[in-house]
Amino acid sequence: MSEQTTPERRVAIVTGGSRGIGRAAAERLASDGFAVVINYAENRTEAQTAVAAIGTAGGQAIAFGADVADETAVSDLFDLAEETYGGVDVVVHAAGVMKLAPLVDTDLGELDRMHRTNVRGTFVVDQQAARRLRSGGAIINFSSSVLGLALPGYSAYAATKGAVEAITLILARELRGRDITVNAVAPGPTATALFLDGKDQETVDRMARMNPLERLGTPEDIAEAVSFLAGPARWVNGQVLRANGGIV
């Protein structure tokens, strides 16, 4: 059975919305008044938990599983959003994968996997967003502050995020006249499973001290930046917002 909303309610798709930064962004946008479509790759149970949490808080959300690099699945994701809520206003593309290793030791299969999800996935999601977003909409991609930090071990991952930034800045200019903004958020070290996986406590503590605030970011910190770009920041366009606590 389809849900219906009032015409005033804006609609957001959040990829990678079942956990981490994506889930925090979905919950924040729901609290801002958006109806939210949570996309997930494999974590159906976690996605449904996120939907339930949004519903308990008085918001509206549904979940849909789709590989962000599969153009047919992503088209179906947008179809569902339009059929359920009447249209799409904001796309937050938070889905991504990260595997760390020095360049000389990087498994090329892992490189290809990151490229498929992080680069092709961004291209596919943004392509549908550019075709379907309503006037006044926003596309919010995800880069990483590691791109500027040039940390050893991050060459493959940072390369994919460099591509995300290029896609973001060019698409903003290609959408001239559409009243649609395109920006990217580039988090610094943030306390998510993606960041913490495989790191010992000494490494985590060292990275937490890299910024002047001397702590890791939280998913909610990053969701705040997403909320800004999705709502009031209509004069911010074609930019990369480095939400990292002040890392130089």
Specify the DSSP element, H or E, that contains 185.
Answer: strand 181-185
Q: Is 182 left (phi over 0), alpha (psi -120 to 50) or beta?
A: beta
Neighbours of 106 (CB within 10 A): 17
Catalytic site positions = 157
Q: For the sheet with 90-93, list strands across it.
A: 60-65, 35-40, 11-15, 90-93, 138-142, 181-185, 240-241
> DSSP characters for 56-124?
HTT-EEEEEE--TT-HHHHHHHHHHHHHHHS---EEEE---------GGG--HHHHHHHIIIIIIHHHH
Measured in residues, the chain has a length of 248
Given the DSSP bridges, would you call strands 60-65 and 138-142 parallel, antiparallel or unpaired? Answer: unpaired
